[in-house]
């Protein structure tokens, strides 16, 4: 779990870096490459596809398994409704059951976690990912 949190920080840093550049360009060739023998997992939550886009760029560049966290009961489409529901979940520490199941998470050497800020914190689906039981 400590490993997951470390990579979460790394992925957040990538997102912050990209969001701070109005014309962000990714040049992975200039960066240190990910060793080819590493098993990589990219897990994200995204409603309006910003995080999904970044997760897709990372996936295109380094490969691995790309997974969107989906809920058993999807959030409402309406913005106010989802904001209210997430606020209530945060207040009551409710973690929504996930439809997505990742088998043998231990087999991954590197895990990227991508998520938007919801209610100034981690979205409940990602919290559930950290605490599956």
Ligand X SMILES: Cc1cc2nc3c(=O)[nH]c(=O)nc-3n(C[C@H](O)[C@H](O)[C@H](O)COP(=O)(O)O)c2cc1C
Binding site for ligand X (CB under 6 A): 46-52, 82-83, 86, 116-120
CB of 4 to ligand X, least distance (A): 19
Nearer Cβ to ligand X (41/46): 46
> Which of 46, 35, 42 has its CA nearest to residue 58?
42
- Residue 67 C-beta: closest distance to ligand X, Å: 14
Classify burial at 29, counting beta carbons within 10 Å of its beta carbon; exposed 0-12, middle 13-18, buried 19 or more. exposed
Q: Are strands 40-44 and 110-114 parallel, antiparallel or unpaired?
A: parallel
- Return the closest-CA partner of residue 42 out of 72, 76, 71, 14: 14
Identify which of residues 6 and 117 has a Cβ nearer to ligand X in the complex.
117
> Min. distance of Cβ 75 from ligand X in angstroms?
8
Tokens standing for residue 101? 């199941």
Residue nearer to ligand X on the CB measure, 52 or 59: 52
Q: Measured from the CB of residue 13, what is the shortest distance to ligand X in angstroms? A: 16
């Amino acid at each position: 779990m400590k490993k997951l949190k470390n990579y979460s920080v790394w992925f957040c840093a990538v997102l912050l870096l990209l969001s701070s550049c109005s014309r962000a360009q990714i040049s992975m060739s200039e960066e240190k490459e990910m060793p080819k023998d590493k098993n990589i997992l990219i897990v994200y939550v995204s409603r309006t596809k910003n995080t999904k886009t970044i997760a897709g760029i990372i996936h295109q560049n380094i490969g691995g398994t790309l997974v969107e966290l989906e809920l058993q009961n999807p959030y409402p489409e309406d913005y106010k409704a989802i904001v209210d529901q997430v606020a209530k979940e945060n207040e009551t520490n409710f973690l929504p059951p996930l439809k997505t199941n990742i088998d043998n998470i231990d087999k991954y050497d590197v895990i990227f976690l991508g998520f938007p800020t919801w209610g100034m914190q981690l979205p409940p689906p990602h919290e559930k990912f950290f605490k599956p039981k």
